[in-house]
Amino acid sequence: MGKPRWLIGKILRPRNNDPARVVDVIEGGWGIVYIVEDLHKGYRTAIKTLQERFLRNEFVVRRFIQEAHLWMSLGQHPNIVTVYGADAIQGRPCIFMEYISGGSLRSRLSVDPMPVGWVTDIAVQFACGMRYVWQVGRTVHRDLKPDNLMLTLDGRLKITDFGMAHAIGISGTPAYMSPEQFHSYSVDTRADIYAFGLILFEMLTGTLPHYSYEHVRLGKAEVSRLAKRRSSEPVVDPRRWNPEIPDGLAGLVLDCLKMDPTERPESFEAICFRLEQFGTSQQIDEAVLPVGSASRWADGVFGPRATQALELASRGAALASIGRRDEALALYDQALALNDQIDEIWKNKATSLLKLGRFEESLGCSEHALALYSQYSNQLTVSKTALMSMTNKSAALIELGEFEQALLTCEEGLRMDPAYARLWNNKAVAYLGRYQLQEASECIDRALHLEPGYEKALSVKGKILRLKNDPGAALKVFELILARNPRSFDGTLGKAACLMDMGREEEAESLARVAYSLDPKALRRFLQKMLQAKIIEFGKRHDSEDLDTFLEIADTAQGAGDYGLALEYYSRAAELDPDHVRALLNKGHCLYELGNRAEGAACFRRVLDLKPGEPDALLNMSRFYLDTHDIQGALEFAERAIQANPQADMAWHNQGCALAGMEKWDEAFDSFGTALRLNPNNFLSWFMVGQIRVKDGNRSGAETCFLEVLAINPEFAPALEMLEKVRK
């Protein structure tokens, strides 16, 4: 096992949570769980992360976070361990989740059978939790076992580690695997039903069918023998070990453990129905409520529909965390329609609106959250929600150019908590808006003193250094950000700006393209600000015959996504110089983006008349023919684009699309593979490879491809739809 990264007593400072002290460390086969205690409020939380050997695998780390988000999207249920969020601490991916003080079912198991009544109650809770998971998320656990079934001190069962086996690329734990899991990575809920039957069998008899010592590590030979027995030997009736098991319960266990998946109960819904016949002390149809919700909200402050509102908001937060903010907003609005007195929901809505660039709406939501905090708080303790609402409010005011009001908001928040680094960061940004560099420097240094690795603050530090005409020092700051987080948008764009300042334009342009792939909307907002500045500068020049100025404004407008304005200025540039290749090429781009494909293609053809080997024009012609379903024309121009520039990943991609249109699947697969070798972030090629694997029946391979797409572009809806289909 790997050595624990943090020892007991270590103080952790998660980005969006209060500081906490490690009070216990629990190591497993692939993960480490840190039990931490909040220094301000005293409550405990569990933080799960990966063992060191998995941290070196970027794909496993990315999938670990993705599966955590999917787990979080399940929302809250009394029989599911709640996930609060997923983030990195000191570069290590972490899942923040509910702490269960009673230990796992494993610690309760013994070699003797357990009381049938107790086992039945546990079975009901187990089945209720899995039924809920299937209803809301169509999620297959893959690794159900006593270690992943937690028990509270009052006897409530909670299922944990959803998706973790999938994240690290294992089929499950052999002793609790179904016959089909030994032979196929692609399984459905019936594999979980088999594991459910095994766990009931073990609780009722003190042993496992085919194998009795799960805690002894299995070698390859033992796993092979176990797989063979699971696939060929029917399970012995559990009443052989425990004659007191009721016939109905024994029959359910044996049905769950059928070798053929089609002979097992079809769903946990069916299992719940059968368990209901046994007269248990649990109510199968009990309401889906967060644990403790009844006592938390019964005082009437929030009203009886608060639980449902919180569940909707929890699902919204999960969607927002993977970039699906429009969908998140719809859920927040549904939650607020049920109950508009919960400041946390207003705060989350403000955050999503802020990320989407809807600053005035975000400001209104933050003010609403703060009004609720003022109304309901006892003012003796500082709410994290209130501090984050102050941060959101000041950020919105900055974006709206209200720098004085932003400063006042930051100062109000810092009176609540002088050690809140995010408010010091926003105060620095507000000072930057007023060109008060000295004050901005002092504030950002304070932020970094409180939180040395805070990426946003480091980015602001780099901007300040650039404004002080020290691009070399600024470059070091942005390179530090990228060393810690190679996919940082702020780090990438900041480094590009420094390189531009230093005259290294080709490197800067390459990084700007990377920034666009990381966050197109954020880059466009950044460029929109540059565009406004350039137009003001142009107005001061009063030079209507300045070709370079036309191109400069057009380039910035195009980067900002304002294709109408860009088209106007590229057209004016082309009027001054009808043979200007770049003006014509980019005019074609703009026409194409505005839906005028034919005129766009005419511009590309004119460029090829002037410069027959122009790679971008050839590439765009191949796109034009793909869009107009002329597959042969698309293939011809894609091949010419590859000859002109063999390093152009999109040329290989277009060639693959054309070959796929001709049903030349092997050749298409090779073309997409070349595109991905040239650019591993080409999510369109990942998507097409996934489509080919679906056609070939390789659901597991397709799932991997669609997960790659969503890791690169979380808002690419077709990949999410295909992922849901292959997981059914």
Per-residue pLDDT tens digits for 467-485: 888 989 999 999 998 887 7
Instruction: Quote helix, strand, coil % in the chain, to nearest 5.
Output: 65, 5, 30
**Residues 152 and 125 sit within 8 Å (Cβ to Cβ):** no
Across 77-81, 395-399, 553-557, 584-588, least confident range: 553-557
**Mean model confidence pLDDT for the chain:** 82
Q: Who wins on pLDDT, 214 or 262? A: 262
The Cα 340–Cα 451 span in angstroms is 34
- The C-alpha atoms of residue 170 and residue 174 are separated, in whole angstroms, by 10
Cα–Cα distance between 493 and 470 in angstroms, integer? Answer: 17
Residue with the larger pLDDT of the pair 425 and 372: 425
pLDDT in tens, 388-400: 899 999 999 998 8
Q: Is 522 a residue whose pLDDT tops 70?
A: no
For residue 483, give both structure tokens: 């060393």
Mean pLDDT for the stretch of residues 525-540 = 53
Higher pLDDT, 584 or 18: 584
Contacts of residue 311, Cβ cutoff 8 Å, sequence gap at least 6: 75, 76, 288, 290
pLDDT at 650 over 70: yes
Average pLDDT over residues 114-130: 86
pLDDT value at residue 322: 54
Per-residue b or e along 577-602, where b marks 16 or more CB atoms closer than 10 Å to that residue's CB:
eeebbbbbbbbbbbbbbeeebeebbe
Ranges 103-112, 209-218, 598-607, 648-657: which has the least confidence: 209-218
Residues with Cβ within 8 Å of residue 157, at least 6 apart in sequence:
79, 105, 122, 125, 126, 129, 149, 150, 151
Amino acid at the residue 536: I
Closest to 121 measured CA to CA, from 96, 143, 154, 97 = 154
pLDDT band at 101 (very low <50, low <70, confident <90, very high): confident
- In the chain, the domains with their CATH numbers are 11-98 (3.30.200.20), 105-276 (1.10.510.10), 341-514 (1.25.40.10), 519-612 (1.25.40.10)
- Residue 288: pLDDT band (50, 70, 90) is very low
pLDDT band at 560 (very low <50, low <70, confident <90, very high): low
Residue 526 reports pLDDT greater than 80: no
Confidence of residue 299 (pLDDT cuts 50, 70, 90): very low
Among the ranges given (134-143, 246-255, 406-415), the one the predictor scored with the smallest mean pLDDT:
134-143
> Mean per-residue pLDDT for 142-162?
86
CA atoms within 13 A on the CB side of 382: 18
Is a pLDDT exceeding 90 seen at residue 83?
Answer: no
Where are the strands (E) in 61-130, listed by range? Answer: 83-89, 92-98
Q: How confident is the model at residue 432 (pLDDT cuts 50, 70, 90)?
A: confident
pLDDT more than 70, % of the chain: 83
Query: What is the three-class DSSP state of 560?
Result: coil
Q: How far is CA 509 from CA 480, 503, 505, 514, 559, in A?
A: 20, 11, 6, 9, 12
User: What residue type is assigned to position 20 of the chain?
Assistant: A
75, 315 Cβ separation under 8 angstroms: yes
Q: What is the arithmetic mean of pLDDT over 553-576? A: 81
Average pLDDT over residues 625-643: 94
Residue 348 has pLDDT above 70, yes or no: yes
722 vs 295, higher pLDDT: 722
